[in-house]
Every structure is written in structure tokens, then in C-alpha cells.
Amino acid sequence: MPDYREMWKSLKMDIEKHDQLCEILPRFYEDIYLSQENRPEAMNYYNFVVSEVHGLRIQELEEHRSKGGKVIGSFCVFVPDEIIDSGGAIGVGLCGGSEFWEPDGERVLPRNTCPLVKASIGAKISSTCPYFQSCDLIVGETTCDGKKKSWEILRDYIPVHVMDLPQMKREKDNISWQDEIKIFMERLETMTGNRVTTEKLSESIKLMNRKRKTLMRLYNTRKSHRLPISGKDALLISQIAFYDNTERFIEKTNELCDELEKRIEDSISVFEDDTPRILVSGTPMAIPNWKLHHIIETSGGAVVCEETCTGTRYFENLVDEGGKTLDEQIKALADRYLNINCACFTPNMGRTEDIVRLYREYNAHGVVYFTLPFCQTYATEFKKVKDVLDREGIPVIMIETGYSLQDTGQIKTRLEAFFEMLDTDKGRAASK
């Protein structure tokens, strides 16, 4: 790997502390990913991306900035990528998936804050994540109280723009969200000096729809009775989608899908036929949070789908490409993004409907409902979700866990018992 230390220094990173992080990640990745057998050959691209996670992509972002371009960081699937792209900026999803950053987050946040929020803030204030250091603006949103107050703290370290996401989905909320998109667009135009035109936004809408279609194609291969790819690998691909070059990601992921579809034709699977098929539902899993998938798939299960923000919520539903004016295009964006069923909304029956639908589409045998500690929205919503799943006869187990590996044994024991009770014959018959 090339030496990026001078680039990191120019980003005012804490090099010594960053070196500690760089020592951990490769071993962690090797244990979880490279230890898998029968992986698709095309996964080598994503291995390369991870090996260069703080190198090549950061270099590309810095080259863009050296030409006067801007980099916009975000934490949430509600921030419209189309607006960022049409404004001539590069959007990157920011990481908060490692306990490495939690102690720094606790310097400014209460300890009983969710790990995702603590790690995200810690990554910035510790100056150990080059993505945060490369951003000219960070876009927050009002999906939970922990995030809302954290943006006020983050403003002491970097410019922050907050989008006020409605908490209901009435017509007046849609109009309000259209206004938020326009306000964000105006700030981006002022910042970049680039005007968002109907033509540019049309191109960006089509580009992001192509990306969504590619991820849909990937996920469709996981509906097969014989799974051509592990859930861990699919999760990794979704995580990389948030920050990789969009055109390159589309190309490489379609190449992978070609291989996966051929594997299905040839009846090549990475799991035994009677492996319990698991739908994971709940909070997002920011890179490098691979913990739950790894535990599931080393405890006798196979993850076939994620009803999460790092899963189907990220790519399901396309933006209508028929808008002829900016107002029509912004309305189409608002319609698509407000169709995401995040636990922040009330009422939120759409999410329980999604879980039941995905359970059936992916021929799952059970649902693992995942929540991070102190994630009140998803933890509270479990009651309503479980009520619906119980009525539908769908087995579900709730797993609350953070980034630490200390509870791995306990989780494995619970999952192994859950998998033993699942009726895999029923699901296998349905998938044929």
C-alpha cells in the first residue's frame, strides 16, 4: 500500500492514534471476512477497497478538493445524494461503527448515549478518521434526540447543516420536507458556487437510481434457495456503497452480480441447504460494525436480507425521473425519501409491513431484531413489531448489543437456541 502519511498530516490527523486504529482493522477484517470459504471471486474488489479504506478514496477526495470541489459528509439515508451530486460535490457516508472512537465521544457526550452517535462524534474530535477530516460540510438530520443535540457539539469542530426531518408523513410534512431539501440545495449552491439546474438534477437522479437498481440486483440473488454470497459480504458491499465512487461501485457490483447469478445457475452456495435463513431488522450497521452478521453466520444461520438503513431502506424505491421542473424534481425526491420507514416516524406501521414483506420475499425462517444500547426509537418500536410478527406466526428474537465483543458468547448461545426452534423445512419448500 502506498504511504499516505503526508496526506494524513495535511488533513491535521492525529497520526499516532490513527496508527493504532490501522493496526486493529486489518486483523479484524481478516478474521471476519478472509476466513470465509468459497467467496465469490469478484469480492476481491471490496477487499481492495477495505485495504485502501483510508488511502486511495481519501486521495480521490483530496484531488477533488484541490480543484475547488467540495466534499459533503452525512450520517443518514434521508440526506438526498442527488442534491449533493447535482451541486458538483462528492457525498460520503461517515463511519461510526467502531468502539475505538467511543471513548473520545464520551469526552463530550453522556456515557448512556448510543454507540453509533458516540463513535461518530469521537471519530471527528479525535482527528483519526480521514473522511471526517476531508469534509467541508457535514449534514445532520433530526432522526433521534441523541443526534439532534450532538450536531450542536459537532459545530465546534466543523461546519454542520441540519435537515429537519418531519416525524409524521402527512401532506404538510411532505411540503415541509420539500422546503428542507430546497434549503439544503441553496446552502450547497452558495458553498460550491454551482447552480443546481433541472438538467443536472435529472442526471443525478438517474445516476442514483442506477445505483439503487444495482443494489436491488445484488439483494435479489439472496432470495435464491442456494445462497451465492454470505450476509457478511452483502453487508460490506452496502457499507462501501455509501462512500465509494458511484460509477465505479455500479460497475464492480454489477460484475459481482453476474458471478452470483451464474453461481445460482450452477447451484453453488456458501451455506448448507438446511441453514436457517435470517432477516435482520433494526438499527444501521456503520462500517466496521460486522459483529452481528459474523455471530449469526458462525452460529448456524445465514443472513439473507437487512431491513436496515445499511440494507433495504437505502435502496428500495426509486425517484420518479419524469420531473420537468426543479419543483417537480424536489417533490419527487421528497416522495421517495419520505417513503423510507425509519423508526423515528409515528405512526410507523409501514415498517412492520416491510418486515413481513421482506420475510416472505427472502424466504426467511426467522427475524433477528437488532438494536444498539440506548437506541430508544428502535428499542421502543420492538413491541409493535413483535405484536405483528406474532400474529403472522413469524419467529423473532431481539438482540441488543454494542460494538464490544465481550458479549459474543452470550449472543451465540441465544441465537443457537433460536435457530434450533426454526422450521427450516417450511422455508426451504417455499423457496423452491
Q: What pLDDT score does 2 carry?
A: 82
Report whether pLDDT(395) > 50.
Answer: yes
- Band (pLDDT 50/70/90 cuts) for residue 95 is confident
Query: What are the strands of the beta sheet with 90-93, ordered from one edge?
Result: 90-93, 71-74, 137-141, 160-163
Give me 246's grid cell. Answer: 458511484
Q: How many CB atoms lie within 10 A of CB 19?
A: 12
Q: How many CB atoms lie within 10 A of CB 117?
A: 23
Give me 177's grid cell. Answer: 420536507
Report whether pLDDT(350) > 50.
Answer: yes
pLDDT tens string 55-81: 999 999 999 999 999 999 999 999 999
- Amino acid making up residue 369: Y
Q: What pLDDT score does 428 carry?
A: 46
Q: What pLDDT score does 250 carry?
A: 98
pLDDT tens string 305-347: 999 999 999 999 999 999 999 999 999 999 999 999 999 999 9
The CATH number for 204-318+342-431, chosen from 3.40.50.11900, 3.40.1440.10, 3.40.50.720, 3.30.70.60, is 3.40.50.11900
Q: Where are the alpha helices (DSSP H) in 280-320?
A: 291-297, 312-315
Question: 78: closest CA among 316, 331, 342?
Answer: 342
- Band (pLDDT 50/70/90 cuts) for residue 357 is very high
Strands 71-74 and 90-93: parallel
The CATH number for 5-194, chosen from 3.30.1490.20, 2.60.120.560, 3.40.50.11890, 3.40.50.300, is 3.40.50.11890
Dist CA 144 CA 347 (whole Å): 15
- Amino acid making up residue 155: R
Q: What pLDDT score does 431 carry?
A: 41
For residue 347, is the peptide bond before it cis, meaning its omega torsion is within 30 degrees of 0?
yes
Domains 5-194 and 204-318+342-431 share a fold: yes
Supply φ then ψ for residue 139, to 5 degrees. -105, 115
Where does 23-96 show beta strands of DSSP type E? 71-74, 90-93
Dist CA 138 CA 218 (whole Å): 29
What's the DSSP call for residue 267?
Answer: T
Cβ-based neighbours of 292, under 8 Å, separated by 6 or more = 280, 285, 368, 370, 399, 401, 411
Mean pLDDT of all residues belonging to the chain: 96
* Predicted TM-score (pTM) of this structure: 0.95
Average pLDDT of the residues in 386-392: 98
pLDDT tens string 233-268: 999 999 999 999 999 999 999 999 999 999 999 999
Domain map (residue ranges) of the chain: 5-194, 204-318+342-431
Instruction: Identify the three-state secondary structure at position 398.
Output: strand
